[in-house]
């Protein structure tokens, strides 16, 4: 008696294998069918001009250089924004730190004055 789970797994494996083989065969068939035929030189320029006009491609066409420049500009904008936020956070941190230092120093001065008054009642406040 064969395990039904093993049979199901084997069936799925074979199905996936058949699909992969069919995809490879169809890809090979479509690549051989898609080879260019020779176009006469006069018709080639007319064909390209009409196709570019129909597509509305920018003049000059968008190139890898344009994309790279745009990507660098976007990266620069993001870095500037990150730097601005970091600077703002550091300013806020320094401000909070100075407030805490001031409160701590006031607390210590007050504590020392109260301690001095407690232990030395003759001491006058300056």
Residue 116 lies in a domain: yes
First to last CA, the chain: 102
Residue 107 lies in a domain: yes
Return the percentage of the chain with pLDDT > 90, whole number: 26
Residue 51 lies in a domain: no
Question: How far is 6 from 73, CA to CA, in rounded Å?
Answer: 55
Contact (Cβ atoms closer than 8 angstroms) between residue 42 and residue 49? no
Please count the structural domains in the chain: 1
Domain range for 113 is 61-126
Residue 110 lies in a domain: yes
3-state secondary structure of 121: coil
pLDDT computed for residue 6 by the predictor: 80
- Whether the per-residue pLDDT at 69 is higher than 90: the answer is no
pLDDT computed for residue 29 by the predictor: 60
Mean pLDDT of all residues belonging to the chain: 77
pLDDT computed for residue 46 by the predictor: 52
DSSP H or E segment with residue 105: helix 64-119
Query: Which comes out higher in pLDDT, residue 24 or 1?
Result: 24
74 vs 68, 77, 83, 85, CA distance in Å? 10, 5, 14, 17
pLDDT computed for residue 4 by the predictor: 79
Residue 114 lies in a domain: yes
């Amino acid at each position: 008696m064969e395990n039904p789970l093993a049979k199901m797994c084997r069936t799925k494996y074979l199905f996936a294998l058949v699909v992969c083989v069919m995809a490879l065969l169809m890809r090979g068939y479509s690549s051989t069918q898609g080879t260019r035929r020779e176009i006469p030189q006069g018709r080639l320029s007319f064909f390209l001009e009409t196709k570019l006009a129909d597509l509305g491609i920018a003049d000059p066409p968008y190139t890898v250089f344009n994309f790279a420049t745009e990507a660098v500009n976007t990266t620069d904008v993001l870095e500037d924004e990150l730097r601005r936020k970091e600077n703002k956070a550091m300013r806020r941190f320094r401000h909070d730190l100075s407030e805490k230092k001031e409160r701590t120093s006031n607390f210590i001065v007050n504590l020392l004055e109260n301690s001095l008054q407690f232990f030395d009642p003759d001491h006058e406040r300056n």
